[in-house]
Structure 1
Amino acid sequence: MGIRIEGKIERVNGKELSYDEFSEKYLMKNEPVLLTGLMDRWKACEEWVTEDRRPKLDFLSAHFGDSPITVADCTARELTDQKRTEMSLSEFMDYWRMLPSGSCNSNRSISRNNHPLLYLKDWHFVKEYPAYVAYKTASFFRDDWLNIYLDHYGMQQGSNVQCDQNDVKCSDYRFVYMGPEGTWTPLHADVFRSYSWSGNVCGKKHWYLLPPSQSRLIFDRFQRNTVYDIFDEVSEKQFPGFGQTIWRECIQEEGEIIFVPSGWFHQVHNMEDTISINHNWFNGHNLDFVWKLLLRDYCEAKEYIEDIRDICDDFEWLCQRNLAANTGMNFYDFFIFISRFTVAIWGLLYHLKLVESSEFSMSSNVVKRLIFNLVSVYNVAKSMEYVEAFNPENIHHFPGEGWHSLVGVRRIMGEDRFQEFAVAIIESIELPDEFKQRNIEFSIDSLISEGFSSSQLSQSVLQESNYPKHSRPSLSSPADLVRLIEHLFAAPDGVCYGLDPSFFPDISCNLFQEH
């Protein structure tokens, strides 16, 4: 069955594009784009590639050969993915050297002279070799909540499906991919419905992308599984909508970066021996995609075990545990995640305003981005207010050190890693040079002084059993988070009070209008 292709991906010179233009044209519209000119000074492009622009296998083996890696066999399917195996990088380089050159054809299921087609995927290179700066992330992709967070916290704190933060495989979503001509990745949408960007260090890729508006068409009749390979003979009976899909495609050349938006299913083929660097990431622009995926996966997990609800004392907790195991986080993980970002943004805005009120207008682009992110959290938290997981009886089942300990505002701001986390956020939004020269640092005393905490938080947010209201404010639920953000906009001493809505034309929210 052939596929219908009716669109190309725009190719733009990244050096001539501002962040605001990128945000307006691609982030906000959730549209893919190919960007050129952003990889010129990458160390990887110089040291990992031969003069004839092929992977420098000897160099990679000599410098990183002991690294444990995961490779996918592109000729062997296992359930909904390719069969994977573990080996060292040097073993993979040895395999690659033995492959006959140029013997792959367009049929991606055919191996080279009956050799398996192995594709190195998901190598956490940055975490494993932090001192080796292989590349510099383009400014368009630095507002990366996912990886900033994972650099300082573990994701799964809301379940006992724990992953050691020091385990490289659990540590981030920054990857190196490399594989010979003919290797490929089956049809998929990215983890958490995140954005992704992928830069070709060498080689060429063929991308096929499907807009989110058509994603229902690639699922089976039960809306559970998707098509594995769009070039297979896809069963019309099993996938009745597949024949209606309309795809976009592009050829990604060496030195180009592709931006893949949230929810775009894609299948990718390496047309040459290829090395790429890839990040998954999300921020205020696509936070709602992440929440909607969690909600959908939660409903599926809940439906799967619904028949044991009456005999299970902690049914909701079991649903959340299964959600974390299947999706990578659950409702509690996600809430802790957005709460820490909210507190950090709140503190940064407070500090910007405190240092000198004129900085609020001088740093207008920075303030605009921070306010946009705060409003994005608010909108998602509003949709989380009434979910069953945050009922007091379900919070009671929270394991380990306890829920209130994790979401206490004073605890969050008092941790050393929170200060490092906040500084990373500052660096990601690129404060103006005039502001950086002030050597601004987060001051714990100013952020959690009695007067500041008590005046900034509403009484409903301050409520926490067993602690004085003025000393242990806690964000115990999405409703608390909503009230906090509303207070920051509505109260005369709120950090966002009195901001002119016309300053934020891209933000659609009643926080400005109501107050």
Structure 2
Amino acid sequence: MPRQIHQQHCSSHFIEYIEREIPYSKFFKNYLISNQPCMFSKKFTEAWNCRKKLDETPVPVANCNAKEYNSNPKQIMPFKEFIQNFPEHNTYKTPIYFSSDWLNEYWDTIEVDDYRFVYMGPKGWSANICGRKKWLLYPPGQEEFLRDCHGNLAYDVTAPVLQDKGLYPQFEEACQPLEIIQEAGEIIFVPSGWHHQEDTISINHNWLNGCNLDIMWQFLQEELSSVQREIEEWRDTMDSWHQHCQVIMKSCTGINYGEFASFLKTIANNRMSFLNSCPRNADNCQDSLAESLLALGPQHAAFDLQRVLHIFENMLSNEDFKRLDPSALSFKPEELLQEIREAVRTIV
């Protein structure tokens, strides 16, 4: 797998949710308050069903012997071309502790892509499902010491090149990373702002929900500001300058304000629909999303709506959002906002 540094995003809103909704959460809550990584024992994964037929599934295959920018070059191929005689395999079920997964909920809805993936790494570290996984974690703020003279994060924090003060002038100021060996069946939770590097074969989810939604919105505003600074000199020469900024932003980050609004609309509609129907048991659920929402409970769905409402109110007062081309949205934000307000008012 690529030995690149990754940053995790989350927020303290998750604390009030787990305290109310998740059994046995006191231990987990303590780690969230202190913003420390936390490990779940293998009892949380013993019931996983991890088998599915993958032979025709297209997968990205990375060339770990080559470097392309800060990652590895990849190509898409059917899984059967990568590994022969692979047994039948049923998809795993996400543990309830991590099932509030807005990112993949949205991507599943629009049927374009998802953020579920498998990492593969060099010999010496096998799957964290069966085997062991080594993690190197840096607390928030330490990433600034891991950048090269051009501002890029290190490709591998264990590489000798980081000792070159000309290339990595601040590396000596970095603290020693927290090193964790994750045993078979264990789950690690990486809190907000922690950068991590691992060598492994593992199942991973990029995780986003109401708890770190404000961080995502802040990130998008910062990304747009960065784009605007880069092309500021053309501002007065282009009638559609603001629209171009959104296009460039999406090409750089994979999302812009219009798609973020659509993302929020999808989550809000799903929660309002669930609360209106709210089946009593999983047997009445027609899909995995409804089953997940039922397992988390109506209070969690209400919490999600309140978080969407908060961010949507912020967006509608944002000057750059107001400048969006109306064609960038397939709905009227003001009408959706009113609908969410009414739903939240009914719940409260």
Measured against the shorter chain, the TM-score band is: 0.7 to 0.9
SS in 1 for 2:145: helix
* Equivalent residue number for residue 317 of structure 1: 243
Q: Which runs of 5+ in 2 are unaligned?
A: 1-21, 279-293
Structure 1 residue 29 displacement after superposition = 5.6
* Whole-Å separation in 1 of the counterparts to 2:145 and 2:40: 29
Correspondent of 1:373 among 304, 312, 332: 304
Letter in 2 for 1:152: T
Deviation for aligned residue 1:286: 1.1
1:147 equivalent in alignment to 2:76 = no
- Which letter maps to 1:299? S
Give the 5 Å matches for 1:199-218: 200-218=128-146
Equivalences for 1:128-277 in 2 at 5 Å? 132-153=89-110, 165=111, 170-181=112-123, 200-220=128-148, 224-232=151-159, 233-234=161-162, 235-246=164-175, 247-270=177-200, 275-277=201-203
Aligned CA distance change for structure 1 residues 176 and 152 (closer, same or farther; 3 Å): same
Letter matched to residue 226 of structure 1: L
CA contact 1:176–1:276 (8 Å) conserved in 2: yes
SS at match of 1:74: coil
1:407 to 324, 331, 334: 331
Deviation at 1:207?
0.4
* CA shift digits 1:54-101 (9 cap, x unpaired): xxxxxxxxx64454432222232111112324444344337xx9xxxx
Distance 1:22 1:283, change over 3 A: farther
> Percent same amino acid among aligned pairs?
34
Q: Which residue of 2 aligns with 1:24?
A: 29
SS in 1 for 2:266: helix
Q: Tell me, what secondary structure is at the counterpart of 2:119?
A: strand
3-state SS of the aligned residue for 2:209? coil
* Aligned equivalent of 1:495: 346
| Gap change, CA 1:132 and 1:139, over 3 Å in 2 | same
- C-alpha distance in structure 2 between counterparts of 1:366 and 1:29, whole Å: 27
**Displacement of 1:283:** 0.9
In the superposition, the TM-score normalised over structure 2's length comes to: 0.74
1:278 aligns with 2:283: no
Structure in which a larger fraction of residues adopt strand: 1
Change in CA separation of 1:30 and 1:143 when aligned onto 2, cut-off 3 Å: farther
Query: Aligned-pair distance for 1:345?
Result: 3.1
Q: Deviations over 1:251-283 (max 9, x none)?
A: 11222222223332111123xxxx422211211
Superposed displacement of residue 307, structure 1: 2.1
Which of structure 1's runs of 4+ aligned residues deviate more than 6 A? none
Q: How far did residue 334 of structure 1 move?
A: 0.9
Tell me, yes or no, if structure 1 residue 389 matches structure 2 residue 320: yes
Cα pair distance change 1:28/1:337, threshold 3 Å: farther
1:204 is displaced (CA, Å) by 1.8
Change (3 A) 1:348 1:71: closer
Q: Say whether residues 1:41 and 2:47 are aligned partners.
A: yes
Pick closer, same or farther for the CA change 1:180–1:228 going to 2, 3 Å.
closer
Q: Does 1:82 align with 2:72?
A: yes
Amino acid at match of 1:24: K
Equivalent pair of 1:203/1:253 in contact (CA under 8 Å): yes
Tell me by how many angstroms 1:181 deviates: 0.9
Instruction: Note the alpha carbon deviations across 1:167-224, whole angstroms, 9 max, x for none.
Output: xxx421122334451589xxxxxxxxxxxxxx722232110112224333333466x4
Find the residue that maps to 2:225 and give its secondary structure.
helix
- Please report how far the alpha carbon of residue 35 of structure 1 lies from its aligned counterpart in structure 2 after TM superposition: 1.5
- Going from structure 1 to structure 2, the CA distance change for 1:23 and 1:342 (only over 3 Å counts) comes to farther
Structure 2 distance, partners of 1:485, 1:27, is 29
Unaligned ranges ≥5, structure 1: 1-16, 49-62, 98-130, 154-164, 185-198, 353-362, 410-460, 462-473, 476-480, 500-515
What is the distance in 2 between the residues matched to 1:20 and 1:85?
Answer: 41
Please state how far the C-alpha of 1:294 moved relative to its aligned partner.
Answer: 1.6
Q: Contact between 2:137 and 2:197, CA under 8 Å: does it hold in 1?
A: yes
1:225 & 1:280 partners in 2: Cα distance?
Answer: 22
The one-letter code of the counterpart of 1:333 is E
| Structure (1 or 2) with the larger CA radius of gyration | 1
SS of the residue corresponding to residue 72 of structure 2 reads: strand
C-alpha contact 2:28 2:38 (8 A) present in aligned 1 = no
8 Å contact from structure 1 (residues 314, 394) kept in 2: no
What SS class does the counterpart of residue 372 from structure 1 fall into? helix
Does 2:219 correspond to 1:293? yes
Once the two structures are superposed, residues 91-134 of structure 1 have per-residue CA deviations (whole angstroms, 9 ceiling, x without a partner) of 4337xx9xxxxxxxxxxxxxxxxxxxxxxxxxxxxxxxxx9523
Task: Measure, in 1, the Cα distance between the counterparts of 2:213 and 2:207.
Answer: 10
RMSD after superposition: 3.4
Report how many aligned residue pairs link the two structures: 306
CA distance 1:237–1:388, shift in 2 (3 Å): farther
Question: Secondary structure of the residue that 1:267 maps to in structure 2?
Answer: strand
Give the TM-score normalised by structure 1: 0.52
The one-letter amino acid of 1:81's match is: S
Whether contact under 8 Å (2:37, 2:189) holds in the other structure is yes
Cα deviation, residue 20, structure 1 = 4.2
AA partner of residue 259 (structure 2): D
- Give SS of 2:117's match: strand
Greater relative contact order, per chain length (Cα 8 Å cut-off, separation 6+):
2
